[in-house]
Structure 1
Amino acid sequence: MSTTADPGAAARHTGVWLHGVVAEADPATLAGITGIAGTPVRTVAAAGLVAVVSDAPLAEYGEEALRRNLEDLAWLERAARSHHAVVDALSRAGAVVPARLATVYRDDDRAARALVERRDELTSTLARLTGREEWGVKGYVVPGATPRAEEPAGGGGAGAAYLRRRRAQLTGREEGQRVAAEAAATVHTALAGYAVTARRHAPQDRRLSGAATAMVLNGAYLIERDRLAAFSALIGALADRHPEIRLELTGPWPPYSFVAEPGTEPQPVGEAA
């Protein structure tokens, strides 16, 4: 007995993962970029905007599957890396509004509808990002860069002397953290004054940063592309002025810190109209 294949079956089982929105997409930039499920990236155009997407099997990227997979750290890391690789390639070619991770639509029509509904917001954001890049500056405590607390004198034997030394060490460490935090605030203010706009994120835990000492500054700065050299020189001058913290410039990054809040991003596949 013969059967006739349903031409719409594959489409019903495949969603559309949104990587980012651009004003226009150069085919040369998109060539060879792999999307979220190992499929080539492609575009959906509407309202004078271009959504860069990749096909995502709903068995893994549908609403229920995403709810489960987003709790799997290994899966989440793989998805985040794939998503970021596309957004990073787009950002190096020009302005891009990165999509929130796991923004999936049921089909191209729904992705296009989101572009129409958010046209004014997306167009404004792209204009603000054009010619600019996000750079990060991290600041870490430098042990011993602040004056050591004097060890208090006193008797009481070896046990008491140990406790006094320990108390002095803790006091010195707390003072070092306080001075470093004040320096970080001063540095951020100076860098923010130079940037188009800036955001100060919460410091990363040492297990995540991989640094030997505590992070006291985790700043993001939107910089004009042609002013990067001067921005880097400013960081050097601030580092000389504040030896109590070690400054590290990172980037350029896609402008994750300077796009709309997640709540205004397109809704996941299960909620998309």
Structure 2
Amino acid sequence: MTTSTSEPVTYAYAVARAHPDLPQSLTGLTGVAGAPVHLIAEGGKEHGDADIVLVVSPVPAADFREEGLRRHLEDLDWLEAVARAHHAIVEEVAARAPALPLRLATVYRDDSSARDMLRSAVRLFAERLDHLADQVEWGVKIYVEATAPPTPESVPSADISPGRAYLSARRRQRGDREAVHRAAQEAAERVGNVARAYATDRAAHRPQQGALVGDAGENVFNDAFLVPRGRGEAFRTEAARAGQGLAGIRVEVTGPWAPYSFAMPVNDTDGPDDTDGRDDSVRGVGP
């Protein structure tokens, strides 16, 4: 079935446990594309999971079906606006109830299609919500400071030619770079030790590059950790110390977040993927 680009499609933010305060907390909020937010409930009473809900908004099909979405993925400003709106709704939900954040730009043909997905996966969602109860995500990134390119003038000497001076500077720069990467590895090992003491799970992400990093330096470590809520501050404090005494690196700890990296994604059999031509779901950017 094909959805007209003039009709809205259903954008899904998260799966959550129903909570008495949740509907009221979403009243008046606007999500992606400035759209209102509402809940889709599927009783699933035969599984004892009548309290599982899906948090959604109606969004323009022209922007979120495959062709429009593929075009927008090249627009960093558009992506940032969608990501901020998505994150704001997920955090609002997670502040009220256990929640499984869905991937950015998870879109269904309509509310009925989204409800079918919820019905088909309600037991799986219930198990994941139980697993993640009272746990939050913390992110740890390690950056290596950028080094200036060598120039012949950086090694002034009357006894060697500019060419040899340049090569000498290159060798020193390479040695410095190797040393700082060893320091980053040491910091990563320290973070791993902290994780073994405080975290219950770990997800490794690819280091960020380009515009996502800006002038922060080279991102060489980008992991997420699932930590019991009561241990979060201790984890943050200890992880932030991982760079102490190590020159040329910086450790950044962020959180707490809803458990984006640990929420099981919807199985592609519950909705089509990007290549099979069906219209139930459009997969967007990863967590």
In structure 2, runs of 5+ residues without a counterpart are 45-49, 148-154, 282-287
Q: Is the 8 A contact 2:232 2:256 kept in 1?
A: no
Q: Does 1:110 align with 2:113?
A: yes
- Alpha carbons of structure 1 residues 13 and 175: separation in structure 2 relative to 1, 3 Å: closer
Query: Does the aligned pair in 1 maintain the 2:140–2:224 contact within 8 Å?
Result: yes
Q: Aligned partners of 1:63, 1:212: CA distance in 2, in Å?
A: 33
Q: Which amino acid aligns with 1:44?
A: I
User: Which of 12, 31, 36 is the matching residue for 1:35?
Assistant: 31
Structure-1-length-normalised TM-score: 0.80
Q: CA deviation at 1:236?
A: 4.4
User: Structure 1 stretch 202-211 or stretch 130-139: which is displaced more?
Assistant: 202-211
**Alpha-carbon displacement from aligned partner over 1:90-134 (angstroms, at most 9, x marks no partner):** 123232111222222222221111111111221111112211111
| Greater Cα offset, 223-232 or 154-163 | 154-163
Q: Is the 8 Å Cα contact of residues 205 and 215 (structure 1) preserved in structure 2?
A: yes
Name the SS for the 1:210 alignment partner: coil
Match of 2:9 among 15, 34, 56: 15
Match status 1:175 vs 2:178: yes
Aligned residues: 256
8 Å CA contact retained: 1:141, 1:246: yes
1:238 partner SS:
helix
Q: Which residue of 1 aligns with 2:280?
A: 272
> Which whole-Å CA distance do the structure 1 matches of 2:170 and 2:65 have between them?
56
1:164-203 paired onto structure 2 within 5 Å? 165-193=168-196, 194-203=198-207
Alpha-carbon deviation of 1:185?
A: 3.1
Q: 1:214 to 1:72 in 2, by over 3 A?
A: closer
Could you tell me how far 1:179 is from its partner in structure 2? 1.1
Change (3 A) 1:266 1:98: farther
State the Cα distance separating 1:266 from its structure 2 match.
Answer: 5.3
Which runs of structure 2 are paired with 1:36-185 in the superposition (5 Å)? 36-46=32-42, 47=44, 48=50, 49-141=52-144, 157-159=160-162, 162-163=165-166, 165-185=168-188
Equivalent residue for 1:240, pick from 244, 262, 278? 244
Moved over 6 A (4+): none
The alpha carbon displacement at 1:206 in A equals 5.6
User: 2:98–2:134: 8 Å Cα contact kept in structure 1?
Assistant: yes
Match of 1:24 among 18, 28, 43: 18
Maintained 8 Å contact 1:155/1:161 = no
Identity %: 36
Counterpart of 2:192, as a letter, is T
Deviations, residues 228-247 of structure 1 (Å, cap 9, x unaligned) = 22212322443336455322
Q: Give, in whole Å, the separation in 1 of the partners of 2:269 and 2:190.
A: 32
Q: CA deviation at 1:270?
A: 4.5
Q: What secondary structure sits across from 2:25 in the alignment?
A: helix
* 1:3 counterpart residue number: none
Which stretch shows the higher mean deviation, 224-233 or 125-134?
224-233
What SS does the corresponding residue of 2:105 show, helix, strand or coil? coil
| Aligned mates of 1:104, 1:159 — CA distance in 2 | 60
CA RMSD of aligned residues (A): 3.1
Q: Which amino acid aligns with 1:14?
A: P
Amino acid at match of 2:95: R
Show the counterpart of 1:7. none
Query: Residues 70 and 174 (structure 1 numbering): CA distance in 2 closer, same or farther, change over 3 Å?
Result: closer
d(CA) in 2 for partners of 1:241 and 1:262? 43
Contact 1:14 1:55 in 2 (8 A): yes
